Amino acid sequence: MKYYIIVGEASGDLHASRLMASLKKFDANADFRFFGGDLMNSVGGTRVRHYKELAYMGFIPVLLHLPTIIKSMKMCKEDIVAWKPDVVILVDYPGFNLKIAKFLKKNTQIPVYYYISPKIWAWKEWRIRAIKRDVAEMFSILPFEIPFYEGKHNYKIHYVGNPTAEEIVTFKTEYTETKEAFCARHNLPNKPIIAVLPGSRKQEIKDNLPAMLEAASHFEDYQIIVAGAPALDNAYYRQYATNCVAKTIKNETYELLSHSIAALVTSGTATLETALLNVPQVVCYETPLPSLIRFAFKHIIKVKYISLVNLIADREIVQELFADRFKVYNIANELYKILPHQEGRQAMLQNYELVRERLGDNIAPDNAANLMVYLLERKAVASKPIEPMSALPEVNETEEYE
């Protein structure tokens, strides 16, 4: 079968690449065409456009790059129609992907599957109308999305397990490098590490990294290592490290976290990765108009937390410093509390166990791929026209009653 897949950022590239590998297990004739990244490219198929040409967030960056985004969307629609896939699989990135889903529902018979739901339970819940109308099947990776979609909105979804949980288990099983070897390979001193994960988009990094670095630099006995996004050059990070010594290491976030004492992390999948790798963390996220955002979070936004760790556990395990709480002093203070021998460290590590338990041990890409192939094959059989019979078949009465 032919699968057209659309992602808009580095994490989507990772999850989609693993889904593609799983689809090949259950469909020997799987053929891929995609908007994606280097990891998807390594699995095979045809890349139409790299996700870094789409990865803009925030009103101003999107507005500045609107012609590029519109051109990419037009190209994507035309390319899908011309290629005639059996299914289009969308991976998160709702601003772009939901428009593609609407176009396909209105103009084609191509079904839309969504792998990794948009986080509409946190913001823009009204998007549920478009999802129910335009998305044939939703494949969720977060257990708390089941009551949201099925209980609150009467929209049946498939919880397939969490890919990050399975990826971490696989990584921990296979990774054997010592901290000394890791530091030697990167020409680092053999000092304790504070990892800084400022996000994968330029705007996120610009907003969050300066304060995160300033807070971490208060702890002179530690070295600061920034986890670099695959699509960005190290020079982009260096411009925000003018007042402290911090090295950037790209494409080795799991390795870095494995050898880190603590971490400062922006909200997103990285908070979950950090927890599953058993690294105490502080969640940091700068927002415009902080007082207004805090008011909205208390009175308009319908979730209690912004980090996946706290959302999955349904309790405050990690400190979330966003909006009016995003201050260098607060970040440094909370970081101090989770360093070795401090009061918050052991409690946080114990609470991480609850997160692991709730995620379960299903292999998400395998489960999703198996179900996708089954649903597509069933659809193909159901839509196959019945051949009219020219005459009744002859009945061998002896055989019938043997």
Q: pLDDT tens, 40-90?
A: 999 999 999 998 776 555 444 555 555 677 888 999 999 999 999 999 999
Q: 310 and 184 in one domain?
A: yes
Q: What is the pLDDT of residue 393?
A: 37
E strands present in 42-169: 46-50, 87-91, 112-115, 137-140, 158-159
The answer to whether position 17 is within a domain reads yes
The answer to whether position 384 is within a domain reads no
Helix pair angle (343-359, 328-337), 10° resolution: 80
The answer to whether position 120 is within a domain reads yes
- % of the chain surpassing 90 pLDDT: 69
Q: How far apart are CA 47 and CA 34, in angstroms?
A: 5
Q: 189 and 332 in one domain?
A: yes
Which two structure tokens, joined as six digits, stand for 25? Answer: 């297990």
Q: 178 and 121 in one domain?
A: no
CATH for 314: 3.40.50.2000
Q: What is the pLDDT of residue 402?
A: 32
The answer to whether position 222 is within a domain reads yes
- % of the chain surpassing 70 pLDDT: 88
Q: How many CB atoms lie within 10 A of CB 78?
A: 10
Residue 257 is part of which domain span?
174-359
The answer to whether position 47 is within a domain reads yes
Q: For residue 197, what is the enclosing H or E element?
A: strand 193-197
SS3 322: strand
**Closest listed residue to residue 148, CA positions, set 162, 135, 138:** 138
The answer to whether position 35 is within a domain reads yes
Q: What is the pLDDT of residue 87?
A: 98
Per-residue pLDDT averaged across 331-351, rounded? 96
Q: 273 and 298 in one domain?
A: yes
Q: 334 and 206 in one domain?
A: yes
Q: What is the pLDDT of residue 167?
A: 87
Q: 144 and 192 in one domain?
A: no
Q: 90 and 116 in one domain?
A: yes
The answer to whether position 382 is within a domain reads no
Q: How far apart are CA 158 and CA 145, in angstroms?
A: 10
pLDDT digits (tens, 9 = 90+) for 103-142: 999 999 999 999 999 989 887 899 999 999 999 999 999 9
pLDDT digits (tens, 9 = 90+) for 280-311: 999 998 876 666 666 666 656 667 888 999 99
Beta bridge partners of 90: 6, 114
Distances (CA, A) of 108 to 75, 78, 136, 142: 16, 12, 13, 30
Q: What is the pLDDT of residue 5?
A: 98
The answer to whether position 166 is within a domain reads no
Q: 178 and 157 in one domain?
A: no
Q: How many domains does the chain have?
A: 2
Q: How many CB atoms lie within 10 A of CB 8?
A: 27
Residue 274: HSE in the Cβ half-sphere, 13 Å Cα cutoff: 31
